[in-house]
Amino acid sequence: MRVPKNLGAFAAALACLNLVMPLQMVQAAGQSGTTGTTATQATSTSPRVAPRPVTRDLKLGPTRELRGQLVDKNGVRLAKRIVVAVHADKTSMETVTDANGRFRFPQAKPGTYQVASQQSYQVCRCWVANTAPPVAAEQLLLVEGDLTLRGQRPIGELLSGPVLIGLIIAAAIIIPIAVHNSQKSAS
Burial of 97 (0-12, 13-18, 19+ CB in 10 A): buried
Q: Whole-prediction pTM value?
A: 0.51
pLDDT of residue 51: 54
What values do phi and psi take at 72, rounded to 5?
-90, 180
Q: CA separation (Å) from 86 to 20, 125, 180?
A: 49, 12, 67
Domains defined for the chain, CATH in brackets: 1-31 (no CATH), 55-144 (2.60.40.10)
A 10 A CB-CB count for 20 gives 15
Q: Given a cut of 80, is residue 49 above it in pLDDT?
A: no
Q: Using one digit for the tens of pLDDT, what is the confidence trace for 57-90?
A: 999 988 899 999 999 988 899 999 999 999 999 8
